[in-house]
Amino acid sequence: MEAFDPHTIERRWQQVWNDEKTWQVPNDATGPLAYVLEMLPYTSGDPHVGHLKNYAVGDAVAHFYRRRGHTVLHPMGYDAFGLPAEGHAIRTGKNPRVSTDESIASFRRQFSDWGISIDWSREFATHQPEYYRWTQWIFLQMFGKGLAYRREASVNWCPHDATVLANEQVVDGRCERCGFLVEVRQLEQWFYRITDYAQRLLDDLDGVEWPEKVKTMQRNWIGRSEGAAVTFRCAEMSSAYEVFTTRPDTLFGATFFVLAPEHPDVLKLAEGTEREREVRAYVEQALVADQFERSSSSRPKTGVPLGRTVTNPATGAEIPMYVADYVLAEYGTGAVMGVPAQDQRDWDFATAFGLSIVRTVQPPADFDGEAYTGDGPAVNSQFLDGLSIADAKPAMIEWLGEESLGESRVTFRLRDWLLSRQRYWGCPIPIVYCDDCGLVPVPEDELPVLLPVIEDYAPKGRSPLAAAEDWVNTPCPRCGGPGRRETDTMDTFVDSSWYFLRYCDPHNETAPWDRSVVDRWMPIDQYIGGVEHAILHLLYARFFCKVFADLGLVGFQEPFKRLFTQGMITRNGTKMSKSKGNSVSPGDIVARYGADTARCYVLFMAPPIMGGDWTDEGLEGVHRFLTRLWRLAQDVRAESADDRRDGGDDLLLIRASHRAISKVTDDIDGQFAFNTAIAAVMSLVKEVSRIHHEGDASAIARREALVTAASLLFPFAPHTATEVYLDLTGERVWEQPWPEADQRYLVADTIEYPIQINGKVRSRITVPADASTADVQALALAEEKIVELLAGKDPRKVIVVPGRMVNLVL
């Protein structure tokens, strides 16, 4: 017998699928449609095993949908702009255009080698002018509706990458990509007004089938809070400061007032006071400090008096103003009323500066702590005294409204999306600055504003595009006078917030998409990617879709109907890394074992949602399984046809086949339990092998069982499954419907009952499936080991759980 040669098999079928354009679908396809999509990859080098797993998951789902009667859209593209791609260019010493195109070629080649069923007719990359023309067009639509705007703001600055970061890209005070401590700077920046959609982004999470963990992460990031906006007035400076608080009931206990170092009025308030120099030095130090450390509850509280006071609107008392770095400008209004008796951080600050502490909620008699945050009756609060917190809050809000001192308000933790980047490799922002006309959008018929070719693209703290003077200097589109192009580029997440729509209509030259086409395919039936994108990418894409719906460009609100987030593959218990020497190259694995082994193993090694630890032994085990299946198929194919036999091993194989069909179908359909699905196919093949070598099943029964195994294996190992299926049936498996289990064969003839004595399993019996409870009890009491253990004693109670167990209580 010839040896199993996966490489020859894989090349043959990949050529067939490529030549016949098997996976291409037209937009006018009829029948049920399904859109299956994996998050597009960054072009920052070669694919790694995480990519292999991501696209193996998506391909299994796409094949499953197809064989259940759907026309499946399963496209591919590349997230080619931004820091990941530019960082790769810097590391390799190449121009980003060159390194990006080389990375795309590597991804395309390996996706083909893996046999991923992609509609290549829809392929694009976000750095192509044909794509970013429409990214710029979308920006102009946002600008026209007031959803894109420019203002000076305190921004997160990464000194290593020399660029601004969105709040979502700062993790524990550090840049999420390079790990450097983030600084705060004041810069003119472009923003998308995502906060206008905060409530809708929150509400609509209830309508999508996403992991609850991801929904919770988004809810927490959006961060809805209900409370009151309260106005504190500084009579000395004729200024007023608004505070948002979720505890307006504690207003009588506010004994000081704090502004964040970033607050624009801090230096103005300190001007001319004896503390002015100290305040300036404190602010300068705070602006370069780690914000995560600043907000830590365990950090000693620091601050400087501003030499001014504000009036507590509830008590009428003048309370001192401070600047303190434990208050962050990005939360609330950048101003906080200090209520030390009810907030531990305020307590720590008050004790550090010798400020008064007034309790407004009575703690229990046995409370011996400092700040009390629990429930209790209001005290020292005039008309609120005696009320619970739940009753005191609305009462105080009503009073504030009557006195024109505040109002009820809902706020969100979410901040507007900062999209400016001081980097070269990104989509240019289509705005021209004119001294006479101000901010002028580039006319739509002049798009795209092409990214110029420059040699020195390294980050310098300002956009490298500023040095391309011939590009920067341009006539004002409105008056024709001298103008200057915007030199910042867009955050790469802008590119990936709408790419899935372009897949639906990728060759449209007059619009980003045709609504009638997009509405046929969208929303995406199954979206697949890493949980690390739970906030950034997924939130931004949802925002874009809601804006598009409001503009009449799409007929849906949510882009991703269902979401699956796969776990990370580790090795030796740690994250794979070239620097650690524990990385695995999917190219090397495919070259040695073939793509089907690699694909099956990354899905079989552990539940895909949990990740798993890579072992070479596990990989080799999967390879042996595929080899066994292929060899069994060759053996059975060589046998002469015979007649099926009633009962016996033929019936065993029929039952095993239908159990496998039921198990694999249930495990794939919405559960993504690919590891147990593959295990079920392995069990079926093992049973066929046992009966083939030791049993007495007919050739036709063994053939049909192997055909079932190949059919079920196709989503995971498409090349080997196609070869085996064709060898045994003469048909192409991907053109055949998904098998259905016959319920008659899922009912077991016998049931095994464990027998417990006082809760501990002592023996087992096998009884007919239709045995009565009395029969099961009698057989359990007659079992040889149980008779010996009972030693003539009668159990006090016998409990039979039908179909599951027998428990004897002595």
**Residue 804 confidence class, pLDDT cut points 50, 70, 90:** confident
Could you say which of 3.40.50.1820, 3.20.20.70, 3.40.50.1440, 3.90.740.10 is the CATH number of the domain covering 224-412? 3.90.740.10
Q: Do 224-412 and 748-809 fold alike per CATH?
A: no
Provide mean pLDDT across the span 152-167.
77
Least confident of 160-169, 232-241, 423-432, 750-759: 160-169
Cα angle 721-725-729, degrees, rounded to a multiple of 5: 180
- DSSP letter string over 213-275? HHHHHHHHHH-EEEEEEEEEEETTTTEEEEEEES-GGGGGG--EEEE-TT-TTHHHHHTTSTT
Quote the mean pLDDT of the chain. Answer: 93
What are the Cα distances from residue 686, in Å, to 594, 645, 703, 723, 759? 22, 21, 14, 19, 34
Buried b (16+ CB within 10 A) or exposed e, 634-660: ebbeeeeeeeeeeeebbbbbbbbbbbb
Token representation of residue 510 = 């007059």
Give the closest residue to 18 by CA, choosing from 103, 116, 110: 116
Provide mean pLDDT across the span 759-786.
91
Give the closest residue to 548 by CA, choosing from 491, 504, 509, 487: 504
Supply the angle between the helices 96-114 and 6-19 in degrees, to the nearest 10: 110
State yes or no: pLDDT of 578 exceeds 90.
Answer: no
Determine whether 225 is exposed, middle or buried from the number of CB atoms within 10 Å of its CB (0-12, 13-18, 19+): middle
Q: Are 651 and 702 in contact (CB under 8 A)?
A: no
What are the Cα distances from residue 647, in Å, to 226, 517, 652, 655, 741? 69, 54, 8, 11, 18
Res 294: pLDDT: 81
**Residue 332 confidence class, pLDDT cut points 50, 70, 90:** confident
Amino acid at 71: T
Q: Are 472 and 452 in contact (CB under 8 A)?
A: no
| Helix (H) or strand (E) run with residue 483 in it | strand 482-485
Token representation of residue 631 = 């060899």
Half-sphere exposure at residue 377, Cβ-oriented, CA atoms within 13 angstroms: 8
Rounded to whole angstroms, the Cα distance separating 651 from 673 reads: 28
- Pick the more confident residue, 164 or 721: 721
Res 573: pLDDT: 83
Rounded to whole angstroms, the Cα distance separating 490 from 509 reads: 22
Taking only the tens place, the pLDDT of each residue in 342-358 is: 999 999 999 999 999 99
Question: Which parts of 84-216 are beta strand (E)?
Answer: 124-125, 148-158, 163-165, 170-171, 174-175, 183-192
Res 658: pLDDT: 96
Determine whether 355 is exposed, middle or buried from the number of CB atoms within 10 Å of its CB (0-12, 13-18, 19+): middle
Q: Are 752 and 766 in contact (CB under 8 A)?
A: yes
Provide mean pLDDT across the span 286-292.
76
- DSSP letter string over 524-544? BSEEEEEGGGTTHHHHHHHHH
How far from the centroid of its chain's Cα atoms is residue 700's Cα? 47
State yes or no: pLDDT of 535 exceeds 90.
Answer: no
Token representation of residue 171 = 């993790």
Half-sphere exposure at residue 598, Cβ-oriented, CA atoms within 13 angstroms: 30
Q: Are 191 and 418 in contact (CB under 8 A)?
A: yes
DSSP label at residue 296: -
Q: State the first-to-last Cα distance of the chain, in angstroms, to the nearest integer.
A: 61
Rounded to whole angstroms, the Cα distance separating 738 from 733 reads: 9
Give the closest residue to 211 by CA, choosing from 501, 530, 524: 530
**Residue 456 confidence class, pLDDT cut points 50, 70, 90:** confident
In the chain, domain spans: 224-412, 748-809
| Helix (H) or strand (E) run with residue 162 in it | none
Taking only the tens place, the pLDDT of each residue in 466-492 is: 999 999 999 999 999 999 999 999 999
Summary count for the chain: helices (H), strands (E): 26, 32
Rounded to whole angstroms, the Cα distance separating 291 from 288 reads: 9
Provide mean pLDDT across the span 571-581.
77
Res 168: pLDDT: 61
State yes or no: pLDDT of 169 exceeds 90.
Answer: no
State yes or no: pLDDT of 367 exceeds 80.
Answer: yes
Res 155: pLDDT: 74
pTM (2 decimals)? 0.86
User: What percent of the chain lies above the pLDDT cut of 90?
Assistant: 78
Pairing of strands 239-245, 224-234: antiparallel
- Pick the more confident residue, 153 or 687: 687
State yes or no: pLDDT of 387 exceeds 70.
Answer: yes
State yes or no: pLDDT of 38 exceeds 80.
Answer: yes
Token representation of residue 497 = 């917030």
Taking only the tens place, the pLDDT of each residue in 547-575 is: 999 999 999 999 999 999 998 898 888 88
Taking only the tens place, the pLDDT of each residue in 293-309 is: 787 778 899 999 999 99
Give the closest residue to 518 by CA, choosing from 498, 496, 538, 536: 498
Res 1: pLDDT: 66
Question: Is CATH 3.10.20.590 the classification given to domain 748-809?
Answer: yes
Res 462: pLDDT: 74
Q: Are 587 and 110 in contact (CB under 8 A)?
A: yes
Q: Torsion angle, CA of 323/327/331/332, rounded to 10 degrees?
A: -60
Q: Are 601 and 619 in contact (CB under 8 A)?
A: yes
How far from the centroid of its chain's Cα atoms is residue 477's Cα? 40
Q: Are 530 and 50 in contact (CB under 8 A)?
A: yes
Give the closest residue to 729 by CA, choosing from 802, 636, 664: 636
Rounded to whole angstroms, the Cα distance separating 586 from 619 reads: 12
Q: Are 667 and 674 in contact (CB under 8 A)?
A: yes
Provide mean pLDDT across the span 705-714.
98
Provide mean pLDDT across the span 584-603.
95
**Residue 579 confidence class, pLDDT cut points 50, 70, 90:** low
Taking only the tens place, the pLDDT of each residue in 6-28 is: 999 999 999 999 999 999 999 99
DSSP label at residue 730: S
- DSSP letter string over 360-423? SBPPPTT--SSS--S---B-S-GGGTT--HHHHHHHHHHHHHHTTSEEEEEEES---EE-EE--
Res 705: pLDDT: 97
Q: Are 115 and 144 in contact (CB under 8 A)?
A: no
